[in-house]
Amino acid sequence: MFLSQSLFIRLATSILIAAMGLTSALFYAKAHDGNEQLAGVVLDRAADKRARDASRHPVQTLSFFHLEPSMRVAEALPGTGWYSEIIANYLGENGALYGINYNESMWPLFGFFTPERIEQMSARTAAFPELVANLADNGITAGGFTFDTAPKNLNSTLDRVLFVRALHNLARFESEAGTLSQALKVTYELLKDDGLVGVVQHRAPANADDKWADGSAGYLKESFVIERFEDAGFELVAKSEINANSKDKPTTDDIVWRLPPSFNGTGDDPAKRAAVEAIGESDRMTLLFKKKGAKVRLH
């Protein structure tokens, strides 16, 4: 039996739509890990935002951090709000989200930002409430500050502090400006006694050269991160391989920004771009900390 061209097209389209629906359902079932409310928030975003979900696993990651609606949360270096959008809409009107930017004195230490760019990056601090208002229309409380301007009246009030790909530059300038030590001290002060700190960080190989893995290439050793948190009065609660990527095997010649979505130094060369696209986003540790000796309730 032969099918007319129009009938063949209609049949093929129906099969494709059915397959797409099945794929979406399977992805949804895999993605929410039992937290359908959070999964709904994650899926209700623009396609360009959701394009990174397969690499960043936001539902599994925030579930691992035991994030719950109505919590009071601080997010270090929120940037343009990729995670802020998810967190703000999930916390809801009774929650609070604070963006913690790098200290203004830290930006010149990079050595390559123009004065105009430094001004733009610094301006994100005060603009964070407006960013949140544009990302979530639920009336959530929002505020922005730096590690050296954290309001004292927020001490011991936060349920979670999150460092998502935000530790490497703090570690990079630790010897020069004490940036990592200060950030962890402020984090300890902001947290409730039963609060938790969630970390996602580009992971250097365990046998990597320590000088290369100082954060300047974007990578830190997992052992280093745990040790620094312990020095600051925290203890490890759990670790996860949610955001692991065994294809990312950086050497001392590599920087994390060679990978998607940055493609720094690789985007203009088709062969190099194809190579890093095959790797995907970086290998990342996912860690959960509490204050030493604290009793925490985990669902």
| pLDDT attached to residue 29 | 38
Cα 299 from Cα 269, distance rounded (Å) = 48
Residue (of 63, 297, 16, 97) closest to 198 by Cα position? 63
Cα 32 from Cα 43, distance rounded (Å) = 10
One DSSP character per residue, 85-121 reads HHHHHHH-TT-EEEEEEPPTTTGGGGS---HHHHHHH
188's tokens: 């300890």
Cβ neighbours of 48 (radius 10 Å): 7
DSSP class of residue 141? Answer: E
* pLDDT tens, position by position, 117-131: 999 999 999 999 999
Q: In the chain, what is the greatest distance between 2 CA atoms, to the nearest angstrom?
A: 78
Question: Contact 61/38 with Cβ under 8 angstroms?
Answer: no
Cα 216 from Cα 224, distance rounded (Å) = 14
Q: Name the CATH code of domain 51-244+283-291 (choices 1.10.10.10, 3.40.50.1110, 3.40.640.10, 3.40.50.150).
A: 3.40.50.150
Q: What is the mean pLDDT of residues 286-295?
A: 97
Q: Which residue has the tokens 């203004």?
A: 104
146's tokens: 């730096």
Q: What is the mean pLDDT of residues 5-27?
A: 45
Radius of gyration of the chain from its Cα atoms, rounded to whole angstroms? 21
DSSP class of residue 248? Answer: -
Residue 172: what are its φ and ψ, rounded to 5°? -60, -40
- 225 alpha-carbon distance from chain centroid: 16
Q: Is the pLDDT of residue 55 over 70?
A: yes
Please, is 118 exposed, middle or buried when counting C-beta atoms within 10 Å of its C-beta (0-12, 13-18, 19+)? middle
* pLDDT tens, position by position, 184-213: 999 999 999 999 999 999 999 999 999 999
What is the chain's mean pLDDT, rounded? Answer: 91
In angstroms, how far is the first alpha carbon of the chain from the final one? Answer: 59
* pLDDT tens, position by position, 224-256: 999 999 999 999 999 999 999 999 999 999 999
Q: Which residue has the tokens 């954290």?
A: 150
Q: What angle (nearest 5°) sits at the alpha carbon of residue 287, between those of residues 286 and 292?
A: 175
- State the pLDDT confidence band at 267, using cuts at 50, 70 and 90: confident
Whole-number percent of the chain with pLDDT over 90: 87
